[in-house]
Amino acid sequence: MSPAIKSCVQDRQLARFYAPQLDQHIESLSLAVEDFLGTVENNLPPRDFVQKGKLVCYGL
């Protein structure tokens, strides 16, 4: 097996291994963005705005 093909196979194995974690992180980040936008839409105080904004920036 050539090095390029071997590397490609290893990349696919890594992608399959990390796919569930990635899905979970995407879901968590999406919820954090929704919460953040809710603070904007509801004109919540700066304390809430900053707290939710940090969660989005840190990627939860």
pLDDT tens track for 18-43: 999 999 999 999 999 999 999 999 99
- Residue ranges covered by each domain of the chain: 24-60
pTM: 0.68
User: What average pLDDT does the structure give for the chain?
Assistant: 87
- Closest residue by Cα to residue 59 from 14, 36, 25, 35: 25
Q: What is the pLDDT of residue 34?
A: 94
Helices (H), the chain: 3-41, 46-57
Q: What is the pLDDT of residue 1?
A: 65
